[in-house]
Amino acid sequence: MSLSTEQKFEKMKEIRDKLLNFKKSPLYKYRLENKYFPVVGEGSHNARIMFIGEAPGKNEAETARPFCGKSGKVLDEMLESINLNRSDVYITNIVKDRPPENRDPSPEEIKLYAPFLNEQIDIIQPRVIATLGRFSMVYILELLKCDTPILSIGQMHGKEYSGQASFGLVTVVPLYHPAVALYNGGNKGTLLEDFQVLKKYV
């Protein structure tokens, strides 16, 4: 079932309201103590390409915007390389609250927050999901029952896999997390190359 832009906006607002009061999350207390916000997502609710990361960092939790720190600058650069702006795509994470010390999200946290992400995918109905990092790669490949053995991100990045969503077929493109370009400049070239795979879906 396709939704109007207004319906999509309302449904996203409902997700935000639920997340604001998501007291059963082990990250809720930490969010309140630090005056952080949940990070729902940002971009077009009618996007053809949806980017899914892992969890917000400090900058993101302070501003309620995904990928707005140094990793975000890398992501913006990658989008520009295929003539896209943030407003053309939708960007979110599996886990919507910041884990302490920027640690990896736990399996429990992924399980708790995943239903919000699943709902967002159904609202936006993207043609392509580009995962950023291994946690989102594994989660999405399993969720969409992609017919492929799940290997390391080093073996799967930049390739296309076909998955099945409630609204039809979706192409999944695993990508490295933009942060890899910050730790190792050589990875930037790999990311740029991988992003070219998305060009045909623009």
Task: Give per-residue pLDDT as tens, 20-74.
Answer: 999 999 999 999 999 999 999 999 999 999 999 999 999 999 999 999 989 999 9
Task: Give per-residue pLDDT as tens, 119-160.
Answer: 999 999 999 999 999 999 999 999 999 999 999 999 999 999
Q: Which residue has the tokens 């989102």?
A: 136
Task: Give per-residue pLDDT as tens, 150-190.
Answer: 999 999 999 999 999 999 999 999 999 999 888 877 789 99
The predicted model scores a pTM of 0.96
pLDDT at residue 202 greater than cutoff 80:
yes
Task: Identify the three-state secondary structure at position 194.
Answer: helix
Task: Give per-residue pLDDT as tens, 187-200.
Answer: 899 999 999 999 99
Residue 102's pLDDT is what? 86
Question: How many whole angstroms separate alpha carbon 128 and alpha carbon 201?
Answer: 8
Q: What architecture is domain 5-201?
A: 3-Layer(aba) Sandwich (3.40)
Residue 116's pLDDT is what? 98
Q: Which residue has the tokens 């995962």?
A: 131
pLDDT at residue 75 greater than cutoff 90:
yes
Describe the chain by its helix, strand, coil percentages, rounded to 5. 50, 15, 35
Residue 49 exposed, middle or buried by CB count within 10 Å (0-12, 13-18, 19+): buried
Task: Give per-residue pLDDT as tens, 76-125.
Answer: 999 999 999 999 999 999 999 999 998 999 999 999 999 999 999 999 99
Q: Among 162, 183, 198, 200, which residue's Cα sits nearest to residue 79?
A: 198
Residue 150's pLDDT is what? 96
Domain parsing of the chain, residue ranges: 5-201
